[in-house]
Structure 1
Amino acid sequence: MPKFCANLTWLFGELPYMDRFRAAREAGFEGVEVLFPYDCPTQDMRDQLVLNGLSFVLMNCPLPNATGGPQGFAAVPGGEERFRRDFDRTLRFAQVLKPLHIHIMAGVAEGPEAEATFVRNLRWAAARAPRQGLTIEPINRIDMPGYFLADYETAARVLDAVASPNLALQFDAYHAHRITGDAAAAWGAHGHRARHVQVAGFPGRHEPAGGAIDYPAFFARLAADGYDGWISGEYAPATTTVDGLGWIR
């Protein structure tokens, strides 16, 4: 059976943040992810996870840029010191929240020097936290202009170059479809590298049902391929979150 988790940054937004944990559990989710869990008391979030019997699956690094600047510095030449400082800050939050994965964001950059920087920083991070699962995720440049990691071939080269057992691919079917035009084919080529999956409808980024991505077939493919990680709903509900949860049933 698939293991579904709820992205609480996107889902249950009609509720106060701390109430979303209980709502997710009551809706049938066994795990949650939060993109940037840095603004609320960390121990309060941990208490909600434990109280509701939820696994904490994923969080992003670095901390969000309050000035509206780019998210991520791991592939930005000259940003190594900032990346390492922010990664250590994320680890302090992770000590309490205990995420299964930390998604390391590449940031806005381009070219061979950016790729080399990304590889060096990921090697450093993987060695810095050898027991912590880490992921990298291709993100399409329509939604995030200039983002360095915007295709799966680059992700494969980077993962092979880093060659660390605690670093893997984060596969977002919505981004995969926008990048390649065929999420299922992208999974076929690169899914063996994935330890975390996110889903949303295409093109509207609403519930993963209908639209251009055949999600029943996609979930069946994941099962046939032996994928045993989490599948996270990371989408904007078309109405209320609960009304749109037919896809997990």
Structure 2
Amino acid sequence: MPRFAANLSLMFADAPFLDRFDRAARAGFKGVEYLFPYGESAADLAQRLEQHDLIQVLFNLPPGNFGAGERGLAALPGRESEFREGLERALEYAQVLRCANLHAMAGIVADEGSKPAMRDCYLRNLQYAARRMAPLGMTLLIEPINTRSMPGYFLNHQAQAHDIVAELAEPNLRVQLDFFHAQIMDGNLAAGFRRYQSSVGHVQIAGVPDRHEPDEGEVDYAYLFRMLDESGYDGWVGCEYVPRGRTEDGLGWYEPWK
């Protein structure tokens, strides 16, 4: 049975952030993820996790100036020191929260001519971060993001991400496979998962094309959930979708999988 984690950046959004942990636990979730923890103290977050018997599954490294449109630093030449400082900040939170997975966002491409230098920077930063995290027993994740949701993002296709993982050959570097992004960019979800399963470290879901609950749209998630079980996938499935209304009212899809 897949293990589902509620994404608290998007779900239960009618409640203050710290109150969403209680809502997630009451809805039956055993794990949570979110984009960034840095607006709250690690101690407050840890208290909510312990209070509601929840596992912190994943969060992102600091992304740079998110409000100004930055979407990660890992592939931005000249920002290496800032990337490493952000990694240390994330690790401080991760150790308090007992979180085993961190996602390093790549960043936005300045122009097509900058891509080779960005890739070189990306590989160096990922290697540094993976080796820094390995003694802590932690996994570093990279995620291809579709060009519609995040125009200009450096990493867009599953093949690109898995090629990077293979090239670096760091045992704790894996791909965050979001079926929503993968369907938009690549399709062929079941075959793609089977092909790349050995380097998939985390799965995320949302309905396509509107990013609502996974009970609508063009993807048969019941089939994919059965496939994940049959494949022996033992990671988490993050529910990174925007509820159509009140989160609890849209959890009918989840009942058979609790």
TM bin, normalised by shorter chain, reads over 0.9
Q: Tell me if structure 2 keeps the 8 A contact 1:198–1:233.
A: yes
Alignment partner for residue 117 of structure 1, among 117, 121, 138?
A: 121
Task: Report the counterpart of residue 223 of structure 1 in structure 2.
Answer: 229
State the shift of 1:91 in Å: 1.3
1:161 partnered with 2:167 = yes
Matched residue of 2:249: which SS?
A: helix
State the shift of 1:122 in Å: 0.7
Distance 2:240 2:158 in 1: 20
Task: Report the counterpart of residue 27 of structure 1 in structure 2.
Answer: 27
Task: Report the counterpart of residue 108 of structure 1 in structure 2.
Answer: 108
Greater alpha carbon shift after TM alignment, 63-72 vs 199-208: 63-72
Task: Report the counterpart of residue 213 of structure 2 in structure 1.
Answer: 207
Task: Report the counterpart of residue 92 of structure 2 in structure 1.
Answer: 92
Amino acid at match of 1:116: D
State the shift of 1:112 in Å: 2.3
1:65-89 Cα distance to aligned partner (Å, 9 max, x none): 2542311111112221221121112
Distance 1:238 1:18 in 2: 21
The alignment of Structure 1 onto Structure 2 pairs a total of residues equal to 249
State the shift of 1:232 in Å: 1.1
For structure 1, the 5+ residue unaligned runs are none
Distance 2:248 2:127 in 1: 41
Distance 1:155 1:199 in 2: 18
1:128-147 Cα distance to aligned partner (Å, 9 max, x none): 12122111110011111111
Amino acid at match of 1:226: G
Q: Tell me if structure 2 keeps the 8 A contact 1:33–1:58.
A: yes
> What aligned pairs does 1:5-44 form with structure 2 within 5 A after superposition?
5-44=5-44
Superposition TM-score, scaled by structure 2 size: 0.92
Answer 1 or 2: which has greater helix percent: 2
Task: Report the counterpart of residue 46 of structure 1 in structure 2.
Answer: 46
For structure 2, the 5+ residue unaligned runs are none
Q: Tell me if structure 2 keeps the 8 A contact 1:171–1:191.
A: no
Q: Give the alignment's Cα RMSD to 1 decimal.
A: 1.4
Amino acid at match of 1:79: R
Task: Report the counterpart of residue 247 of structure 1 in structure 2.
Answer: 253
Distance 1:156 1:105 in 2: 15
